Amino acid sequence: MSVIGSRLLRKEDPKLLTGEGKYIDDIQVAGQLWMGMVRSTQAHAAIASVDLSAALEQPGVVAAYSGKDLTEGYWIAPLPCAWPVTPDMLNPPHYPVAVDEARYVGDIVAVVLAESRYEAADAVEHVVVEYEPLPVVASLTDAVADEKLAHPELGTNKAYTWAIDENPDGVQAALDGSAHKVEATYIQQRLIPSAMEPRGVLAVPSPHGGDITLYSATQVPHILRVMVAATTGIPEQMIRVIAPAVGGGFGAKLNINADEILAVALAQKLGKPVRWTETRTEAAGSTTHGRGQEQHVEIGSDADGKITAIRVKIDADMGAYMQLITPGTPLLGSFLYHGVYEAPAFSFTCEGFFTNKTPTDAYRGAGRPEASYAIERAMDMLAAEVGIDPAEIRRRNYINGGEKFENWDNPAGLTFDSGHYTPNLDLALDLAKYDELRAEQARRREAGESKQLGIGLCTYVEICGLAPSRALGDLGYGAGGWEHATVRMLPTGKVEVVSGSTPHGQGHETSWSMIVADKMGIDPADVTVLHSDTALSPLGLDTYGSRSLAVGGVAIAMAVDKLIDKCKALAAHQLEASVDDIVLEDGNLQVAGSPDTATPIQTMGFAAFTAHDLPEGMEPNLNEAVTYDPPNFAFPFGTHVCVVEVDEDTGEVEMIDYVAVDDCGQQINPLIVEGQVHGGVVQGVAQALWEDAVYDADGNPLNPSFMDYLVPSAAEVPNIRTDSTTTTSTSNPLGVKGVGEAGTIGSAAAAVNAVVDALSHHGVRDMAMPATPQRVWRTIDAAKNGGQA
Amino acid sequence: MIPAAFDYQVAESADHAIALLGEHGDESKLLAGGHSLVPMMKFRLATPTMVIDVGRLDDLRYIRAENGHVAIGALTRHHELENSDVLADACPMLKHVASLVGDPSVRHRGTLGGTLAHSDPASDLPAAVLALGGTLVAQGPSGTREIAANEFFTGYFESVLAPDEMLTEIRVPSGTGGWNYQKFNRRAQDWAIVGVGVADGGKGVSLVNMGSVPLRATAVEEALAGGASAADAAALAAEGTEPPTDLNADADYRGHLARTLVLRALTEAGVS
């Protein structure tokens, strides 16, 4: 029986759901000190003085430091940015504690260490910081104007310009010659990632041994280890990083944070364990944000709506500093601004700007939701311009006419592994009962009902399987994209997998067990997966960019193949047969055609362990490793249909149906795929309808709490109906693509397209995110009565 | 939560709580369900040095049908209102509004007396009690007094309660005459951006989050009393109000919502 493709319940869940999971706050060590961060209350100010004297006298306080106190002897390099996207990118040094200037509300200006968390929080209130306010770059508009400067010493806010623009004149000519043209600006508002578990860190030094163990609620323990060595100067082999159970990350735990480096440096200095857990307010204002872009899109077509050219210019908000992949995040979408459509002429330019706001970085989808939103909104506007149905304009422009293709070169220089778009669209429209919805929409319009119906489509493509190391090198990224796996059979025949992928909610232990069990013909319960600890799993590049299965999972599959080959050689020796005649069937090794020779593969563990009778030259034990570097990315796609009711009297939007038909190639566990789609869809519609990290003109965050920053709950979203098509990837031997971010990439555009569609008969063509009741009502009012939208 | 340091004492009775309030004065706060006080302490917006826990005063947890009204102990939880057979018969509006507060965990902790004493203009139950024409019973060192709901709220999170008084009982008139409650918000668990309560066939109309206190929509009530149609009366819903502007809504949009929701509430309540 095939294990791959079955709906196995997640083996992680009993532990996590009953509280047995050990998260960072469950790990307590004797003698630990708590850090309390003194954070800037000013978006941009010179730090005139920091007075720690009163704080040092508070009960339980052991030490306190300003930025100036930490300028020597604590670190050898600033916090790392691993992705200098251009050779001349501006990247001012970013130290864990600001020294002369605070550059966003939340920037750390001093740190207090105390014996308890409460004492640390109390002492923070006794630190007196004198600020001298400086001009604040509080928005992208401010940043582009370049009059006020986020980093005055740089002389400009513009950090870089990056482009795919080989034939600008050709693109211009194609646009000029287009029968129809749409030009629009879309705002990708800032989002707060909001993982269920906040970030936390615990550094445990060994004052006599010299080594240090760093526990962190991170997605990237392997990358963190390298970067701790590079920033603190502690020899890398003396550093062990452990990511315990981690409660979600969405990209905001894909970073090297000031608190992590501070904890290590201060633990080494004081010879005591040092820990910190962010409050929700700190999570909202001081851990990285997502999105933050203005997208200027031009799209032209011929008279029938066939695309002639796409030109995109993005202004991207870096925030105050370059975090680990801040500058590269918008570029992860750069290759996808043509979506699932053929675009004979294509141009993309991105300019990155500093602002005096929380740094931005990866957030679920990282660049691709933005790209998908822009092209899918523009396609709806183009459909309106041409005067055809949104589904029809998509059909007319699909790559290869919507027929199946493999290895298609896109206009941005990538090669799409495989795609087959029309059947995917048809299935989604069928499930949604698209024609009936259109009829009902017409009826409500005719009747002039106050609740109008809107149907929004999004047919997206995305990039998974980050990434071929060579491709990352070409992009200037500071690491490779391989993944490592070791698979070993223990003496009793049970199997241990060591993976360099680091789960934080994805269900890796289940999926990896299924891959191994499927290949070996054994029970998935006989497989245990080890991960997330650099001492157990020294080689790895962790979890982000929907890469775990398409890279890490493939590495495991390849390592299992090697292990099976060795088992076959051992069985051939035992059975005195040729290895070429040994086959593996239902967990038994046997000579082909001779079932009486069947030997359970799991007995090979003991034979290899005792090593009493191995073939000549064979090493004892069964322990096979593979480091897999994918030859190409994988390009999942899908169709999302969002159905909304818009109350024209109040502007309220209610989602009444949602259909997601995703194609992520071969599925290992459809239950996990559906879970990823559900969560992703809600995270995407959250941007469309609810979430918005708002700042005032002085750079103060206005909603850094769950009271004011509206993360939707199950009560706000309809039952999400999922289905799938399967177009296997040509990029890897499992045929898998990836699904971790797909829901988010497909859903924001579907939701906004639905809201606009509901109001299109009033002449409404666009709606900014989030489509709040007030915004929708004002838009209706403007369309009907000529008011101000 | 990491509040500032505070002392904590369990009140054994209402008398004990009032004595403790007298002893600790302005620096003390009563803790009932804690769903307003605790978040404020967490953000250090409230820093009481003495927290007096009245949450165990079970003798103030009751819902009783009495002569022409329902008497409700101040420590009665929203969850108990929501599931009360007494209210189903005698005051279904209060039962319904209780079911709309926050989420289940809030409703299992929050108390009717607590939400009234907190006097949040955005809360649902104060507006419901206001529309119903309820009476609040406060106990202080020198005994109890009755306060009409429409004289109770004095300002943003302020009421006529003296520092050493606590609410012990809330009385709402019995009656199932045309009522409705409209709650407009962006997520089910949130406070209303604007809410509207209609009780007793339009004799009581109240507004949520349309000013610094829970409000009676007096212009609407008077117009209806004078024979105006629901539509004409609803058009006056924002009259005399000074609604706030926040991230969810500007003042003018709140005014529009008030007019729209009052009409809906009146229509649903059978007022034409």
Q: Which residues of A touch B248 (CB under 8 A)?
A: 772-774
Q: Using alpha carbons, list the distances in angstroms from residue A484 to A464, A471, A504, A515, A614.
A: 17, 18, 18, 15, 27
From B43, which residue of chain A is nearest by alpha-carbon distance?
A: A281
3-state class of A428 per DSSP?
A: helix
Q: Which residues of A touch B193 (CB under 8 A)?
A: 773
Q: Is residue B76 part of a domain?
A: yes
Ranges of CATH 3.90.1170.50 domains, chain A: 13-134+196-248+253-285
Query: A713–B4: do the CB atoms touch at under 8 Å?
Result: no
Please give the span between the terminal C-alpha atoms of chain A, in angstroms, as a whole number.
Answer: 59
Structural domain that includes position B100: 58-173
Q: Which of A118, A708, A715 sits opposite B188 (nearest CB)?
A: A715
Query: B186–A710: do the CB atoms touch at under 8 Å?
Result: yes
Contact map slice: A 91-150 vs B, CB within 8 A = 117-118, 121-122, 125
Residue B200 gets the label, from left (phi > 0), alpha (psi -120 to 50) or beta, of left
Residue B184 in contact with partner chain A when CB distance is under 8 A: yes
CA atoms of B70 and A260, how far apart (whole Å): 58
DSSP sequence for A699-760: S-BS--STTTS----GGGSPPEEEEE-----SSSTT-B---TTHHHHHHHHHHHHHHHHHHG
pLDDT digits (tens, 9 = 90+) for A66-85: 999 999 999 999 999 999 99
Amino acid at A6: S
Instruction: Check residue A1 and give its pLDDT.
Output: 58
Instruction: Check residue A787 and give its pLDDT.
Output: 62
Instruction: Check residue A314 and give its pLDDT.
Output: 98
| Residue B33 scores a pLDDT above 80 | yes
Residue A716 in contact with partner chain B when CB distance is under 8 A: yes
3-state class of A180 per DSSP?
A: strand
Quick one: what percent of chain A has pLDDT higher than 90? 98
Instruction: Check residue A60 and give its pLDDT.
Output: 98
Co-location of B192 and B96 in the same domain:
no
- Please state, rounded to an integer, the average pLDDT across all residues of chain B: 96
Q: Is residue B106 part of a domain?
A: yes
- Please state, rounded to an integer, the average pLDDT across all residues of chain A: 97
* Residue where the block lists tokens 């609620």: A217
Geometric angle at alpha carbon A482, from A476 and A488, rounded to 5°: 160
CA atoms of A77 and A229, how far apart (whole Å): 10
Beta bridge partners of B29: B51
Query: B193–A281: do the CB atoms touch at under 8 Å?
Result: no
Question: Strand B204-208 to strand B215-216: parallel, antiparallel, or no bridges (unpaired)?
Answer: antiparallel
- Give the containing element (helix H, strand E) for A778: helix A773-785
Give the pLDDT mean for A372-392. Answer: 98
Q: Is residue B146 part of a domain?
A: yes
Query: A703–B247: do the CB atoms touch at under 8 Å?
Result: yes
pLDDT digits (tens, 9 = 90+) for A307-346: 999 999 999 999 999 999 999 999 999 999 999 999 999 9
Nearest in space to A720 (alpha carbons), one of A684, A688, A758? A684
From B188, which residue of chain A is nearest by alpha-carbon distance?
A: A715
Residue A580 gets the label, from left (phi > 0), alpha (psi -120 to 50) or beta, of alpha
pLDDT digits (tens, 9 = 90+) for A456-483: 999 999 999 988 999 999 999 999 999 9
Residue A695 in contact with partner chain B when CB distance is under 8 A: no
Rg of chain B in Å (alpha carbons): 18
Question: Strand A405-409 to strand A108-114: parallel, antiparallel, or no bridges (unpaired)?
Answer: unpaired
The residues, ordered by sequence, that sit 6+ positions from A297 with a Cβ below 8 Å of its Cβ are: A182, A183, A184, A185, A186, A310, A311, A312, A337, A374, A375, A377, A378
Best residue of A190, A654, A710, A716 to probe chain B, by most B CBs closer than 10 Å: A710
State how far residue B257 is from chain A, nearest Cα, in angstroms: 7
Q: Is residue B201 part of a domain?
A: yes
CATH number at residue B26: 3.30.43.10
pLDDT digits (tens, 9 = 90+) for A526-572: 999 999 999 999 999 999 999 999 999 999 999 999 999 999 999 99
Peptide bond into A615 cis (omega under 30): no
Confidence of residue B176 (pLDDT cuts 50, 70, 90): confident
| Residue B122 scores a pLDDT above 80 | yes
User: With contact defined as beta carbons under 8 Å apart, do B115 and B157 qualify?
Assistant: no
CA atoms of A406 and A728, how far apart (whole Å): 10
* Residue where the block lists tokens 């916090």: A79
Co-location of B157 and B229 in the same domain:
no
Q: Which of B173, B204, B235 is the last residue of a domain?
A: B173
Q: Is residue B93 part of a domain?
A: yes
Residue A415 in contact with partner chain B when CB distance is under 8 A: no
Fold exhibited by the domain A482-628: Aldehyde Oxidoreductase; domain 4 (3.30.365)
Query: B43–A773: do the CB atoms touch at under 8 Å?
Result: no
Instruction: Check residue A788 and give its pLDDT.
Output: 59
DSSP sequence for chain B: --PPP-EEEE-SSHHHHHHHHHHHGGGEEEESS-TTHHHHHHTTS---SEEEE-TT-GGG--EEEETTEEEEETT-BHHHHHT-HHHHHH-HHHHHHHTTSS-HHHHHH-BHHHHHHHT-TT-HHHHHHHHHT-EEEEEETTEEEEEEGGGTEEETTEES--TT-EEEEEEEE---SS-EEEEE-SSTTSPPSEEEEEEGGGTEEEEESSSSS-EE-HHHHHHHHTT--HHHHHTTTTTT------SS--HHHHHHHHHHHHHHHHHHTT--
- Give the containing element (helix H, strand E) for A222: helix A221-232
- Helix A670-689 vs helix A742-759: crossing angle, to nearest 10: 40
Query: A650–B187: do the CB atoms touch at under 8 Å?
Result: no
Please give the span between the terminal C-alpha atoms of chain B, in angstroms, as a whole number.
Answer: 50
Quick one: what percent of chain B has pLDDT higher than 90? 97
Query: A713–B188: do the CB atoms touch at under 8 Å?
Result: yes
CATH number at residue B186: 3.30.390.50
Neighbours of A629 (CB within 10 A): 14
Give the pLDDT mean for A165-192. Answer: 97
Query: B249–A703: do the CB atoms touch at under 8 Å?
Result: no
3-state class of A610 per DSSP?
A: helix
Confidence of residue B113 (pLDDT cuts 50, 70, 90): very high
Q: Which CATH class is domain A290-466+632-785?
A: alpha beta
Size of chain A in residues: 789
Contact map slice: B 228-257 vs A, CB within 8 A = 247-250, 253, 256-257
pLDDT digits (tens, 9 = 90+) for B207-218: 999 999 999 999
Q: Which of B139, B173, B207 is the last residue of a domain?
A: B173
User: With contact defined as beta carbons under 8 Å apart, do B10 and B31 qualify?
Assistant: no
Query: B39–A712: do the CB atoms touch at under 8 Å?
Result: no
pLDDT digits (tens, 9 = 90+) for A722-771: 999 999 999 999 999 999 999 999 999 999 999 999 999 999 999 999 99
Query: A713–B247: do the CB atoms touch at under 8 Å?
Result: no
Tokens of A159: 């950090």
Question: Strand B158-159 to strand B153-155: parallel, antiparallel, or no bridges (unpaired)?
Answer: antiparallel
CA atoms of A133 and A151, how far apart (whole Å): 13
Neighbours of A736 (CB within 10 A): 28
Q: Which residues of A touch B2 (CB under 8 A)?
A: 117-118, 121, 279
Confidence of residue B175 (pLDDT cuts 50, 70, 90): confident
pLDDT digits (tens, 9 = 90+) for A634-692: 999 999 999 999 999 999 999 999 999 999 999 999 999 999 999 999 999 999 999 99
Co-location of B223 and B156 in the same domain:
no
Query: A650–B247: do the CB atoms touch at under 8 Å?
Result: no
Count: domains in chain B: 3
Instruction: Check residue B181 and give its pLDDT.
Output: 98
Q: Which of A650, A710, A715 sits opposite B260 (nearest CB)?
A: A650
| Residue A789 scores a pLDDT above 70 | no
pLDDT digits (tens, 9 = 90+) for A221-240: 999 999 999 999 999 999 99
CATH number at residue B97: 3.30.465.10
- Domain at A13-134+196-248+253-285: CATH code: 3.90.1170.50
User: With contact defined as beta carbons under 8 Å apart, do A515 and A485 qualify?
Assistant: no
Size of interface A-B (CB pairs under 8 A): 51
Best residue of B1, B2, B101 to probe chain A, by most A CBs closer than 10 Å: B2
The residues, ordered by sequence, that sit 6+ positions from A448 with a Cβ below 8 Å of its Cβ are: none
| Residue B53 scores a pLDDT above 80 | yes
Number of H helices, E strands in chain A: 19, 28
Instruction: Check residue A785 and give its pLDDT.
Output: 85
* Residue where the block lists tokens 């259909």: A659
Query: A710–B190: do the CB atoms touch at under 8 Å?
Result: yes
Confidence of residue B164 (pLDDT cuts 50, 70, 90): very high
Phi, psi for B240 (deg, rounded to 5): 75, 5
Q: Which of B187, B247, B257 sits opposite A650 (nearest CB)?
A: B257
Residue A652 in contact with partner chain B when CB distance is under 8 A: yes
Query: B253–A281: do the CB atoms touch at under 8 Å?
Result: no
Question: Strand A212-216 to strand A239-242: parallel, antiparallel, or no bridges (unpaired)?
Answer: parallel
Q: Which of B53, B68, B91 is the last residue of a domain?
A: B53
Co-location of B89 and B190 in the same domain:
no
3-state class of A242 per DSSP?
A: strand
Q: Is residue B2 part of a domain?
A: no
Nearest in space to A266 (alpha carbons), one of A201, A359, A321, A220? A201
